Amino acid sequence: MKLEEIAAELVAGCRENRTAENLDKLYADHAISVEARDTGSGRECAGLDGIKAKHDWWDQNMEMTDGTVSDPFPHGDDRFAVIFEAQGREKATGNAFEMKEVAVYHVADGKIVREEFFY
């Protein structure tokens, strides 16, 4: 897939609740995910299985109540960014949260190989 196709499908998947399905479709097996800060298990997660586990943890612990996903912002031939705004609550405590983050996705050989989150 080309950069523009990957970016469009990632955004569509997020908007249509197909994020988990898109992991296999869009990410390389050796992809790396980097958070802005360590939330208890390190900032960096390596491999598609690790990224899937990170998504599973989020789904098990957080409930989304509202949010938006921007259109992608391409940068050259190998990167794009997306802005996420979300409202939700922690399932365990019921505490509400709001968040805004920028995600930068790096693409090589038709797959996402690295994602970085800024918040």
Please, what are the domains in the chain? Answer: 3-118 (3.10.450.50)
Q: How far apart are CA 76 and CA 89, in angstroms?
A: 36
Between the two ends of the chain, the Cα-to-Cα distance in Å is 28
pLDDT confidence band for 12 (50 / 70 / 90): very high
Would you give the DSSP letter of residue 76?
T
Predicted local distance difference test score (pLDDT) of residue 39: 75
List pLDDT tens digits, range 84-101: 999 999 999 999 999 999
pLDDT over 80 at 73, yes or no: yes
**Helix 3-15 and helix 19-26: axis angle, to 10°?**
160
Read off the pLDDT of each residue in 4-9 and give the average, rounded to a whole number.
Answer: 98
Q: How many CA atoms lie within 13 A of 68 on its CB side?
A: 6
Residues of the chain with pLDDT > 70, as a percent, come to 100
Show Cβ contacts of residue 97 under 8 Å, excluding neighbours closer than 6 positions: 87, 88, 89, 90
Distance of CA 34 to the CA centre of its chain: 10
